[in-house]
Every structure is written in structure tokens, then in C-alpha cells.
Amino acid sequence: MTYKVFLKDLGNKLKMQRKKLGLTQSELVEKINKGLNKNDDDYLSDKQMSRVECGENATRLDKFVKWALALEKTPDYFLLGIDYGDARTGISITDALNITVQGLETIHNQGSDRVILRRLDEILEQYEVDTIVIGKPINMNGTSSERTEITEKFIHKLQCKFNKIKVERIDERLTTVEAHKTMNFLDINKHKKRNIVDTISAVYILESYMKMKKDNWI
């Protein structure tokens, strides 16, 4: 799915939910802006809402939470994506409508699973996560590798610590390649690439899972 198609799909879903509630764009904007003035960063104009519904604009995760409440569509859970690595681990999360995926952060664990688990504990205090999706590294021919075993050991720790949260594995082949393609397309410099490549990979991992689930592949 291209970014333009993705925005169009997002806008259509927001529009459908608004119409389901019998709200005009102006009425929804009024609900969202309740208690705000025009100088506030979170203030939304009718024109901005129209652009979002037409697939011409996107918004931040925190704004989606507010919009979800205005649309009376609060999710029961979020999905969390993990691109597990020795030195760095990328984290991604869905928006409040479970439609989009956004990069959350990169954990600099430097070989310590304890650092990752401690940070995840803090993140899970903030978000009501139902499912954790972690990339499973396998060889291009589909066989397991040494890295697969290392990841499985981490998954075991993950399941033991967060035993009420479902953990799903998904093939992560080519996610790093796609992440680098995205960064090259956006002309991100070499220094920044190193800091965000794992987070972008985590986004691809979670997006792949959501697409497979939507298409009933899992």
C-alpha cells in the first residue's frame, strides 16, 4: 500500500464512522475542539478535517486518540510491534483507531534484554496493548538461523513477563531493506538513518501483521 492510498483509506474510515453517528464535518470538529481556542496546537479547522477525510493530510497519534473519543470509537486495545536487535530494538504502535502504525521509539539495549523488558513495562503502562508482534529473523530460503534462536529466547522472556498479552511472530525478511528504501526516498542522512532504521522496521513488521490479519492470512 502506498502512502497516498493509505491516507485515502484512513480518511474513508473516519468519514464512515462520522456519518454512522449522523455528524456533519462541522459538528465533529466542534466536538473535537471542545475547550480549545483557535491558538491551541490541537485546534482543528473544518478545512483540516476535510483534507484528512479526502486523504490529503495525516495527523499525530495523540490527536487520533482524541478523535476516536469524539467519534465514540475507543479501541479496547493497541497493537505493539518489535524489531528486536542486539544493540537497538525498534518499537511501533497502532493509532487509537487501530488503522495506522507509527514508530514509537528505538531502545538502545546494547545486548541487554533486561533494558528492553524494563522499557516495555513502562510503555505497556501507558498503552493498553492486546498483542505484541515481533519480527522473526529467518534465512531467505525459509530456514532458521542463529539469530532465530536468539530471538526465540527473547520471546520466551517476553511471554513470561507479560503473560496476559498475546505474542505473535511474523516473518521479518526484507523489512530492514524496505526501511532503508524508505529512508533513501526521504533523503535522510546517514547519522539519522542509524537512529531510526529499527523503528521504521518495527513499523513494517506491524503493518505486515495487520495486512495479513485483514486478508485473513493469520
Final residue in a domain of this structure, among 16, 39, 70? 70
Final residue in a domain of this structure, among 35, 70, 105? 70
Here the CATH number for the domain that contains residue 27 is 1.10.260
Final residue in a domain of this structure, among 70, 94, 120? 70
Q: How many angstroms separate the CA atoms of 9 and 52, rounded?
A: 10
Q: What pTM, to 2 d.p., does this model score? A: 0.66
Low-confidence ranges of the chain (pLDDT < 70): 1-7, 58-76, 96-97, 174, 176-195, 218
Residues 190-214 pLDDT 10s: 666 566 788 888 998 998 898 888 7
Beta strands in the chain, from DSSP E residues, in sequence order: 78-83, 88-94, 101-108, 129-136, 166-171
Domain count, the chain: 2
Range of the domain at 37: 3-70
Residues 92 and 42 in one domain: no
Residues 59 and 135 in one domain: no
